Structure 1
Amino acid sequence: MLEREPREERTEVTFVLPADTPPGPVSVVGDFNDRQPGIHTPAPREDGERAVTVRLPNESTHSCRYLAAGDYWFSEPSAGDQDGPDSRLHT
């Protein structure tokens, strides 16, 4: 699930995952972090979910995916669009 918080010049996009699905560490990888795992890693929140926030320019489009343990890749269904295996995120 995605949470979006528009700001004056940026949009804060929070990637939210259940606490244990998928199990183990997960990274958000996309064109905004040169697809480098480990830069944007969801951390536990008080509500039991895991989340990480990325600040992106307003009115921009980005491609991203999740990478979980065991080389398990998956997309973000609430992003809206898909570009092949990637989710397309619009701010």
Structure 2
Amino acid sequence: MLERKQLKDRTQVTFVLPADTPPGPVSVVGDFNDWRPGTHTLVPRKDGSRAVTVALPGKSVHYFRYLATGGCWFDEEQADGHDGINSRLHT
């Protein structure tokens, strides 16, 4: 799930996953972090989900995927679109 908060010139995007699906550490990897795994690792929240927030420039398009333990890549179903292998996000 994606949560968005519009700010003056940027958008805070929070990437959210259930606590145990998939199990183990998960990071969001995309063009906003040079596709580096581990840069934005999801952390537990009080409600039991896991999340990480990234501030992105307003009115821009970004591509990303999730990377779970064991090299398992997967997409965000609620993304603004998909380009084949990546999820697309409009801010």
- Length-normalised TM-score, structure 1: 0.98
**Runs of 4 or more off by more than 3 Å in structure 1?**
none
Give 1:8's aligned amino acid: K
- Length-normalised TM-score, structure 2: 0.98
Q: In the alignment, which residue of structure 1 is the partner of 2:12?
A: 12
Q: In the alignment, which residue of structure 1 is the partner of 2:78?
A: 78
How many percent of aligned residue pairs carry the same amino acid? 67
Structure 2 residue runs without a partner (length 5+): none
Are 2:50 and 1:45 equivalent residues in the alignment? no
What secondary structure sits across from 2:62 in the alignment?
strand
CA RMSD of aligned residues (A): 0.5
Q: In the alignment, which residue of structure 2 is the partner of 1:64?
A: 64
**Whole-angstrom CA distance in 2 between matches of 1:77 and 1:85:** 12
**Whole-angstrom CA distance in 2 between matches of 1:85 and 1:59:** 22
**Residue correspondences, number:** 91
**Whole-angstrom CA distance in 1 between matches of 2:61 and 2:77:** 16
Give 2:18's aligned amino acid: P
Structure 1 residue runs without a partner (length 5+): none
